[in-house]
A and B are shown apart, each in its own frame.
Chain A
């Protein structure tokens, strides 16, 4: 394992400090991912914000289709089996509709050109707090 790592290192011209840095960052990110996963649960509702203002609260309990207005026109949001995704929007790269379904707390879909943000939460109070 270590020999392979050393050979790869020589191949891609890294020095010892680089390897230390890469390993350190790798461990940090894995630990953070596991920590976040531990605190994550199934979301019960989604909050849709346009330009920081809450425009729609969507329960994830039943399948439905919602239309909100973003900066570039209509954004179609679809809820299916407790998961939510952006189905149609008008933007240059379609990053947010390509992201697909999300369903867990802390996950979010961001559509920068439309200034639309969808956050998932498992309490209804979130809307009031924000």
Chain B
């Protein structure tokens, strides 16, 4: 019970971050779909402090709640976010077992988020041209992934002795 209280609190943080980052324009939209991925900070913390299933719990619920607030459930936007979130969550779970640190795992997560979104574009919009943007998204996923990983590492170190997860 206490665990779920904490998880829901983290979930609400990630929802706020998700909405907050949509107000931060990166390169003024020249590359479609580019964003910081701040919500991944929370997903990373859950990944390192809770179980595998909780990672999916937080990321899927976040997509559903943000989807409800912004574009409505089962819209195209919703499936784009869902694909991105599922891809990044599962890839981070897999790569956590390797010798990568939290920052490397975060970079993997942000790259797989891009791959998931491009796949969603191909599946739902039948727009194969979107592949053209994949290398650009990959390139910019690296600094954003490092940034997000760095913030989560710092945050986890700060919270470690203040909160019992």
Contacts and interface: CB of A to CB of B under 8 A. Distances in A.
A25 interface: yes
Interface stretch (B1-9, B49-57, B135-143): B135-143
Contacts of A25: 107, 111, 138, 141-142
Given A25-B111, A93-B22, A95-B29, A17 B127 contact: no
B83 interface: no
Given A13-B101, A22-B107, A98-B25, A107 B146 contact: no
B104 interface: yes
Contacts of A26: 139, 142
A82 interface: no
Contact of B100 (A18, A95, A113): A18
Contact of B32 (A32, A40, A95, A130): A95
Contacts of B162: none
Contacts of B134: 32
Interface residues of A, number: 38
Interface in B12-70: 22, 25, 28-30, 32, 70
Interface in A21-51: 21-22, 25-26, 28-30, 32-33, 36, 40, 49
B139 A33 contact: yes
A20 B155 CA distance: 24
Interface in A87-130: 92-93, 95-96, 98-100, 106-110, 112-113, 115, 117, 119-120, 130
A17 B104 contact: yes
14 contacts: A13-B154, A14-B101, A15-B99, A15-B100, A15-B104, A17-B104, A18-B101, A22-B104, A29-B136, A29-B142, A30-B135, A95-B29, A99-B29, A119-B127
Interface of A: 12-15, 17-18, 21-22, 25-26, 28-30, 32-33, 36, 40, 49, 52, 92-93, 95-96, 98-100, 106-110, 112-113, 115, 117, 119-120, 130
Interface of B: 22, 25, 28-30, 32, 70-71, 75-77, 80, 98-101, 103-104, 107-108, 111, 121, 125-127, 129-132, 134-136, 138-139, 141-142, 146, 150, 153-154
Given A33-B136, A112-B77, 19 more contacts: A12-B103, A13-B150, A14-B103, A15-B99, A15-B101, A15-B104, A26-B139, A26-B142, A30-B139, A49-B127, A100-B28, A106-B132, A107-B129, A108-B132, A110-B125, A110-B130, A113-B77, A117-B125, A120-B129
